[in-house]
Amino acid sequence: MTRDDYDRYLEAFNARDYDAVLDHFADEFELVFAGYVFRTKDEVRRFYAFLHAHIAESVRVREFVSDGNMVALEADVRLEGIDEVTPEMLAEQGLERIQTLARGQVVTLPQFIHYHLVDGKIVRALCAVFEPPVAQAPA
């Protein structure tokens, strides 16, 4: 996956075009982050539909390295609370480990993301936060 390929993937993600995002994934894959593992495209769609109904998320790549078998990058993931999410709502979705954000609260999560590729498709994506989040007070 080239940087141009990844930029198209990221553009689709930032636009909430989940079908275009998932076109980059193999039929069998693992998406791992925050202690969760998603293995089907429906699981990924369901998770992001819930998350993005309550949180505005955007990803900005800081460093990028790739070859035919992998992509490794450092990114800033910006999350902004747009609607209230309670711990109970997260529990109903099976997402107890995810922290809530107040409406207007902004958090920037520096992340390391490592993608494993087979035939140009993502078969495993590992997302790790490598620094504490940088939180800003609600506006």
Tell me the pLDDT of the chain averaged across its residues.
91
pLDDT classification of 133: cutoffs 50, 70, 90? low
Per-residue pLDDT of 63-122, as tens digits, reads: 999 998 999 999 999 999 999 888 899 999 999 888 888 899 999 989 999 999 999 999
For residue 139, pLDDT over 60 is answered with no
Domains defined for the chain, CATH in brackets: 3-136 (3.10.450.50)
pLDDT value at position 70?
97
Angle 125-14-89 from CA coordinates, rounded to 5°: 75
Could you give the CA distance from residue 2 to residue 71 in angstroms, rounded to a whole number? 9
pLDDT classification of 137: cutoffs 50, 70, 90? low
Average of per-residue pLDDT across 4-31: 96
pLDDT classification of 48: cutoffs 50, 70, 90? very high
Q: What is the pTM of this model?
A: 0.85
Could you give the CA distance from residue 51 to residue 35 in angstroms, rounded to a whole number? 16
CA distance to 62, 71, 90, 135, per residue, from 47 (Å): 25, 23, 11, 23
Maximal CA-CA distance, the chain: 45
Average of per-residue pLDDT across 21-29: 97
